[in-house]
Amino acid sequence: MNAATKRLNALRELLGNARECLGLDVGFLLWDGSTLPTGLPPDVLAIYFADEGVIAALIRRPRIQTLANLWVTGRVDIRNGTLFDLARMRPRVRSKQFFKALDKRLLATTVLRFLLVPIGGPWPLNNQPRQQRSNYPPDKNKKNIAYHYDISNAFYALFLDPELVYSCAYFTGWDNDIATAQRDKLDMICRKLRLKPGEHFLDIGCGWGALVCHAAQHHGVHAHGVTLSEEQFAFAKDKVARLGLQDRVTIELRDYSTLQGSFDKIASIGMFEHVGSDNHPTYF
């Protein structure tokens, strides 16, 4: 029996032991065409490993970036389902219980057999620069925002909810539509901030004005939103007027770094990740 076959057999034993310890119904497809368990039906949810370098990489570089590289290059895949299906089938066994039940001898044997196997490639995510400049002046920031958001409001209306909320929704029920989920998200934010009537509320990166209008309508605050997008600014201004909120909501076309004023509560939804580490002191 050659070394490659021994590695494959060791991995099969380890995966079988892990499935048993975790009570998993997920199958595995290996690079030689074999399945675990043997005779796995073709329509069963299964994790696919394209080559033995995948296992070597996960052993030597057990990081999320390793898995991301393997995923985007198709060397790890999910067959007959999605990540959501896999998440729904997650085991109820605690990690401590799992590692206690796992065959340690088998684990050590498998690790040793794959330790010197070439990890293969490509690794496209490793070629991305670790640090990019983020401290651009306001005029450059405005150009960047315009490139993305000033395509047209009609374009974004094709796939966003009626209020044009541009960040993750909050689904309290499986059957909720996107409009309901976004309203629930807006209200959750307002409740987390414990907004009270008469307070002055700021939304940095207010987008099309959904949060400031919701906060004013349903929580009685005086809300101020800032955006760098001309299209968003025009839409939000029209919305405020349409809802008759001119005395409680103001929208400003402004870079957050030049903002003046005092506020009781501040929100910034889906913008922080775009600020850049160089700008964190100013932002906060």
CATH of the domain at 144: 3.40.50.150
State mean pLDDT over 237-251: 97
- Verify that 152 and 121 share a domain, yes or no: no
131 belongs to a structural domain: no
Tell me whether residue 132 is in a domain: no
Question: Mean pLDDT highest for which of 78-92, 100-114, 119-133?
Answer: 100-114
> Do 183 and 266 have their domain in common?
yes
- The pLDDT of 40-66, averaged and rounded, is 94
Residue that finishes a domain, picked among 92, 125, 158: 125
Q: Same domain, yes or no, for 13 and 68?
A: yes
- This prediction has a pTM of 0.60
Check whether 30 has a pLDDT greater than 90.
yes
CA dist 73 and 35 (Å) reads 21
Residue 50's pLDDT is 97
pLDDT at 134: 64
CA 181/CA 15 separation, integer angstroms: 39
- As a whole number of angstroms, the distance between CA 273 and CA 138 comes to 17
Inside any domain, residue 203:
yes
Same domain for 118 and 216? no
Looking at the fold, whether 183 and 265 belong to one and the same domain comes out as: yes
Same domain assignment for residues 34 and 117: yes
Average pLDDT, the chain: 92
Q: Could you give the angle at the alpha carbon of 11 between the alpha carbons of 8 and 12, nearest 5°? A: 85
* Domain count within the chain: 2
Digit-coded pLDDT (tens) for 123-181? 998 877 666 666 677 777 788 888 888 999 999 999 999 999 999 999 999 999 999 99
> What are the structure tokens assigned to 230, written together?
């001309």
Q: Which residue shows structure tokens 């004013």?
A: 216
**Does residue 246 carry a pLDDT above 90?**
yes
Q: Which residue has the tokens 């052993």?
A: 59
Give pLDDT, residue 129. 67
24 is in which domain, residue-wise? 3-125
Determine the average pLDDT of the residues in 222-239.
96
Residues 117 and 219 in one domain: no
- 130 part of a folded domain: no
Hey, what are 229's tokens? 């997008």
Whether residue 198 is contained in a domain is answered as yes
pLDDT band at 58 (very low <50, low <70, confident <90, very high): very high
Q: Which of 11, 19, 188 is nearest to 110 (CA)?
A: 11
Q: For the segment 110-125, what is each residue's pLDDT rounded down to a tens digit?
A: 999 999 999 999 999 8
- Residue 93's pLDDT is what? 79
| 133 found inside a domain | no
| Residues 76 and 144 placed together within one structural domain of the fold | no
Q: What does the radius of gyration of the chain's CA atoms come to, in whole angstroms?
A: 26
Percentage, residues of the chain above pLDDT 70: 97
Given 71, 95, 125, which residue is the final one in a domain? 125
| Inter-residue contact 223 to 212 (CB < 8 Å) | yes
Q: In this structure, is the dihedral angle defined by the CA atoms of residues 202, 203, 207 and 209, taken in order, positive or negative?
A: negative
Whether 112 and 231 share a structural domain: no
Residues 164 and 221 in one domain: yes
Is there a domain that residue 261 lies in? yes
What mean pLDDT is predicted for residues 205-219? Answer: 97
Task: Work out the percent of the chain whose per-residue pLDDT is above 90.
Answer: 70
Say yes or no: 118 and 247 in one domain: no
Considering the domain architecture, whether residues 266 and 149 belong to the same structural domain is answered as yes
Does 154 reside within a domain? yes
- Name the band, by pLDDT with cuts 50, 70 and 90, for residue 277: confident
